[in-house]
Amino acid sequence: MKPKELILKYGNNPHQNPARIYVNDGHLPIEILNGNPGYINLLDAFNSWQLVKELRAVLKLPAAASFKHVSPAGAAVGLPLSDSLKKAYFVEGMELSPVAAAYARARGADRVSSFGDWIAISDTVDLATAQLIAKEVSDGIIAPDYAPEALEVLKKKKKGAYNVIKIDPDYQPGEIEHKEVFGIVFEQKRNNVVPDESYLKNIVTENKNLPESAVRDLIIAMITLKYTQSNSVCYVSDGQVIGCGAGQQSRIHCTRLAGEKADLWFLRQHPAVLDLPFKEGVSRTEKDIAIDQFLREDTSEEEMQQWGGVFEKIPARLSMNEKKAWLAKMTDVALGSDAFFPQRDNIDRAAKSGVKYIVQPGGSLRDDAVIAACNEYGMVMVFNGLRLFHH
């Protein structure tokens, strides 16, 4: 029988003990199949599970998310990968099921941030997905079920301590939720709105051409934002998050942060990056950090020398002009914002990362200026009237 409570090692930090999770009525909707998940693990698990469950329900495709500190580093649906993405995500030669492809995409959005991630999978985890996860540094996974052979692979991770949680896919929480801060109980109606195509009808720009691929990507952006610490902005391309700016106090900082991540994602697919001369036996993590250092403008040549040991020879860096020329090929990107854009500077920054489709609530005093900026760039912008703050 499933328990009503689960005693945890500690809370957010080791000195916050005792700690537990529990329900007042019924029983917990999870089974711990392996490991001993902690407080933050479980926060990531329950937030990420809701995200992938909603993506699956709306888009009818397997979905996956890679979570760190209660925000998604990546989220995606199970579409096939191009050859360049397979190489950039280190999955060349691997047989990828749709479920495995969803996780490869979710992990590939921001591989540096996804180091030690919590994984959520919308469908039964198959062997192909487990074999992919076995190659990555991760803390745990939540899914509705696991194929027996997949579970055996996952149980061997982290010397047998890998966290594997099975969740009841039919579980529905109550309508009202509570949170305690400083001894004060907060109560509100649970955010049970599921963003779908019906929220994409109010197109406010001159360009009103919204293809099905953009509808899909804008839905991914909205659902991802619903489970991202606010303020937040999310860039999506070809069925996957490519940049998520979370927890910033300023909207433009969200847009810049997410845009920088989207740019790095695209630059990872540059031929010069795909062909970096790594030494035999270099780990994925070392490759991820070296690529990040290779691409960042603020990395000095001295710092590159420190990573020289992972290369057969230290490669020539891409020039600013080479990067600009490559980034100019990034097009048809979708962008979502969890609240309105107060200034056109967000639109100007988004345009630099190939954004063509935008969804946001609207309602700013400067909506007209923001719409005018979108019209200058030929963008399509939708006002969904739905704020998606998450705290």
Q: Which residues are annotated as catalytic?
A: 68-69, 231, 391
Which residue type sits at 324? K
Task: Tell me if 217 sits within 8 A of 357, measured CB to CB.
Answer: yes
Contacts for 6 with CB less than 8 Å, ≥ 6 apart:
20, 21, 22, 28, 32, 42
Q: Is 11 left (phi over 0), alpha (psi -120 to 50) or beta?
A: beta
Helix residue ranges, H only, 4-97 = 39-59, 83-88
Q: Which of 140, 74, 127, 83 is nearest to 102 (CA)?
A: 74
Q: Which among 390, 76, 54 has a CA at the least distance from the CA of 254?
A: 390
Cis omega before residue 18 (within 30°)? yes
Question: What would you report as the CA-atom Rg of the chain, rounded to the nearest whole angstrom?
Answer: 21
- B/e letters for 13-28, b = 16+ CB within 10 Å, e = fewer, are eeeeeebebeeeeeeb
C-alpha pair distances (Å), 343 with each of 349, 361, 363: 11, 14, 12
Angle of the 251-267 helix axis to the 284-295 helix axis, nearest 10: 110
